[in-house]
Structure 1
Protein backbone atom coordinates (compact mmCIF):
# COMPACT_ATOMS: atom_id res chain seq x y z
CA UNK A 1 0.00 0.00 0.00
CA UNK A 2 1.11 3.54 -0.65
CA UNK A 3 2.24 5.38 2.44
CA UNK A 4 0.44 8.55 3.51
CA UNK A 5 -2.76 8.23 1.45
CA UNK A 6 -4.86 6.01 3.71
CA UNK A 7 -6.85 7.30 6.70
CA UNK A 8 -5.81 6.18 10.16
CA UNK A 9 -7.68 3.01 11.14
CA UNK A 10 -7.87 2.97 14.93
CA UNK A 11 -10.01 1.95 17.88
CA UNK A 12 -12.84 4.40 18.55
CA UNK A 13 -15.38 4.51 21.38
CA UNK A 14 -18.98 5.00 20.26
CA UNK A 15 -21.35 6.35 22.93
CA UNK A 16 -25.11 5.90 22.50
CA UNK A 17 -26.38 8.97 24.34
CA UNK A 18 -29.98 7.73 24.49
CA UNK A 19 -29.16 4.95 26.97
CA UNK A 20 -25.51 5.53 27.94
CA UNK A 21 -24.29 2.41 26.09
CA UNK A 22 -20.63 2.46 25.03
CA UNK A 23 -18.74 0.16 22.70
CA UNK A 24 -15.33 0.11 21.08
CA UNK A 25 -14.73 -0.74 17.46
CA UNK A 26 -12.23 0.19 14.79
CA UNK A 27 -12.98 3.10 12.49
CA UNK A 28 -11.45 5.81 10.32
CA UNK A 29 -13.91 8.48 11.51
CA UNK A 30 -12.41 11.84 12.48
CA UNK A 31 -13.34 13.22 15.88
CA UNK A 32 -12.12 16.00 18.14
CA UNK A 33 -13.36 14.56 21.43
CA UNK A 34 -11.51 11.97 23.47
CA UNK A 35 -12.58 9.94 26.49
CA UNK A 36 -10.86 7.62 28.91
CA UNK A 37 -12.50 4.21 29.06
CA UNK A 38 -11.17 1.28 31.09
CA UNK A 39 -7.82 3.01 31.56
CA UNK A 40 -7.22 3.83 27.88
CA UNK A 41 -7.94 7.05 26.00
CA UNK A 42 -10.06 6.67 22.85
CA UNK A 43 -11.49 9.07 20.27
CA UNK A 44 -15.19 9.58 21.10
CA UNK A 45 -18.15 9.50 18.70
CA UNK A 46 -21.60 10.29 20.13
CA UNK A 47 -24.54 8.56 18.43
CA UNK A 48 -28.28 8.65 19.06
CA UNK A 49 -29.20 5.11 18.03
CA UNK A 50 -27.32 1.83 18.37
CA UNK A 51 -28.25 -1.83 18.59
CA UNK A 52 -28.96 -1.28 22.30
CA UNK A 53 -31.59 1.40 21.66
CA UNK A 54 -32.99 0.67 18.19
CA UNK A 55 -36.57 -0.71 18.29
CA UNK A 56 -35.73 -3.46 15.80
CA UNK A 57 -33.20 -4.97 18.19
CA UNK A 58 -34.93 -4.16 21.49
CA UNK A 59 -38.50 -4.96 20.48
CA UNK A 60 -39.67 -1.74 22.14
CA UNK A 61 -41.22 1.21 20.35
CA UNK A 62 -39.42 4.41 21.24
CA UNK A 63 -39.71 7.80 19.57
CA UNK A 64 -36.34 9.49 19.17
CA UNK A 65 -37.10 13.17 18.74
CA UNK A 66 -34.22 15.54 19.29
CA UNK A 67 -35.55 18.54 17.40
CA UNK A 68 -39.26 18.51 18.30
CA UNK A 69 -40.27 17.15 14.90
CA UNK A 70 -42.93 14.83 16.31
CA UNK A 71 -44.56 17.60 18.35
CA UNK A 72 -44.46 19.94 15.36
CA UNK A 73 -46.12 17.28 13.21
CA UNK A 74 -48.81 16.59 15.82
CA UNK A 75 -49.57 20.31 16.16
CA UNK A 76 -49.90 20.67 12.41
CA UNK A 77 -51.89 17.51 11.67
CA UNK A 78 -53.30 16.44 15.03
CA UNK A 79 -54.08 12.74 15.33
CA UNK A 80 -55.30 12.26 11.77
CA UNK A 81 -54.87 8.63 10.79
CA UNK A 82 -53.71 7.48 14.20
CA UNK A 83 -54.49 3.92 15.27
CA UNK A 84 -56.82 5.07 18.05
CA UNK A 85 -58.83 7.24 15.71
CA UNK A 86 -59.02 4.53 13.04
CA UNK A 87 -60.29 1.96 15.56
CA UNK A 88 -63.32 4.09 16.44
Structure 2
Protein backbone atom coordinates (compact mmCIF):
# COMPACT_ATOMS: atom_id res chain seq x y z
CA UNK A 1 0.00 0.00 0.00
CA UNK A 2 1.37 3.41 -0.98
CA UNK A 3 2.00 5.88 1.79
CA UNK A 4 0.72 9.45 1.69
CA UNK A 5 -2.26 8.82 -0.63
CA UNK A 6 -4.94 8.12 1.97
CA UNK A 7 -6.93 10.93 3.60
CA UNK A 8 -5.98 11.93 7.13
CA UNK A 9 -9.49 12.76 8.42
CA UNK A 10 -10.93 9.24 8.10
CA UNK A 11 -13.14 8.99 11.20
CA UNK A 12 -16.47 7.62 12.50
CA UNK A 13 -19.44 9.62 11.16
CA UNK A 14 -23.17 9.25 11.94
CA UNK A 15 -25.46 9.05 8.91
CA UNK A 16 -29.08 9.99 9.67
CA UNK A 17 -31.97 9.00 7.38
CA UNK A 18 -34.38 11.95 7.47
CA UNK A 19 -37.35 9.96 6.12
CA UNK A 20 -37.56 7.54 9.06
CA UNK A 21 -35.04 8.84 11.62
CA UNK A 22 -32.70 5.84 11.59
CA UNK A 23 -29.06 6.57 12.35
CA UNK A 24 -26.02 4.42 11.67
CA UNK A 25 -22.32 4.99 12.22
CA UNK A 26 -19.70 4.34 9.57
CA UNK A 27 -16.23 5.65 8.81
CA UNK A 28 -15.97 8.50 6.31
CA UNK A 29 -13.99 11.56 5.27
CA UNK A 30 -17.06 13.70 4.55
CA UNK A 31 -16.94 17.28 5.87
CA UNK A 32 -19.89 18.42 7.97
CA UNK A 33 -20.53 21.16 10.50
CA UNK A 34 -23.36 19.43 12.37
CA UNK A 35 -22.84 16.96 15.20
CA UNK A 36 -25.01 14.46 17.04
CA UNK A 37 -24.63 12.83 20.46
CA UNK A 38 -25.09 9.04 20.46
CA UNK A 39 -24.55 7.12 23.71
CA UNK A 40 -22.44 9.94 25.15
CA UNK A 41 -20.16 10.18 22.12
CA UNK A 42 -20.33 13.16 19.74
CA UNK A 43 -20.13 12.32 16.03
CA UNK A 44 -20.28 14.51 12.94
CA UNK A 45 -23.65 13.86 11.28
CA UNK A 46 -24.62 13.64 7.61
CA UNK A 47 -28.35 13.94 6.85
CA UNK A 48 -29.63 11.80 3.98
CA UNK A 49 -33.02 11.75 2.26
CA UNK A 50 -33.01 7.99 1.82
CA UNK A 51 -30.92 5.02 2.96
CA UNK A 52 -31.15 1.24 2.90
CA UNK A 53 -33.50 1.35 5.90
CA UNK A 54 -36.11 3.37 3.96
CA UNK A 55 -35.45 2.53 0.29
CA UNK A 56 -38.29 0.54 -1.34
CA UNK A 57 -35.90 -2.02 -2.84
CA UNK A 58 -34.55 -3.03 0.58
CA UNK A 59 -37.75 -2.67 2.61
CA UNK A 60 -40.09 -4.39 0.16
CA UNK A 61 -42.49 -1.44 0.14
CA UNK A 62 -43.36 -0.31 -3.36
CA UNK A 63 -44.21 3.30 -2.55
CA UNK A 64 -41.45 5.89 -2.56
CA UNK A 65 -42.08 9.22 -0.85
CA UNK A 66 -41.08 11.95 -3.29
CA UNK A 67 -39.68 14.67 -1.04
CA UNK A 68 -38.14 16.79 -3.76
CA UNK A 69 -41.16 16.85 -6.11
CA UNK A 70 -39.26 15.14 -8.91
CA UNK A 71 -42.27 13.25 -10.20
CA UNK A 72 -44.36 16.42 -10.40
CA UNK A 73 -41.57 18.26 -12.19
CA UNK A 74 -41.28 15.43 -14.71
CA UNK A 75 -45.03 15.30 -15.35
CA UNK A 76 -45.34 19.05 -15.90
CA UNK A 77 -42.26 19.21 -18.09
CA UNK A 78 -43.21 16.37 -20.41
CA UNK A 79 -47.02 16.70 -20.37
CA UNK A 80 -46.87 19.10 -23.30
CA UNK A 81 -45.12 16.53 -25.53
CA UNK A 82 -48.30 14.47 -25.79
CA UNK A 83 -50.35 17.43 -26.99
CA UNK A 84 -50.55 18.12 -30.71
CA UNK A 85 -50.09 21.66 -31.98
State the TM-score, normalizing by the size of structure 1. Answer: 0.73
Q: Deviations over 1:44-73 (max 9, x none)?
A: 000011110111111111223222222333
The whole-number CA distance in structure 1 between the counterparts of 2:46 and 2:73 is 28
| Structure 1 counterpart of 2:59 | 58
Aligned-pair distance for 1:75?
Answer: 4.8
- Whether 2:7 is the aligned partner of 1:11: answer no
Please, which runs of 5 or more residues in structure 1 have no aligned partner?
Answer: 81-88
**Contact conserved, 2:15 with 2:48, CA < 8 A, in 1?**
yes
Give the 4+ runs in structure 1 shifted more than 4 A.
none
Please, which runs of 5 or more residues in structure 2 have no aligned partner?
Answer: none
**Contact conserved, 2:56 with 2:64, CA < 8 A, in 1?**
no
**Contact conserved, 2:36 with 2:44, CA < 8 A, in 1?**
yes
**3-state SS of paired residue (1:32):** coil
Which range is displaced more, 65-74 or 25-34? 65-74
Count residues with an aligned counterpart: 77
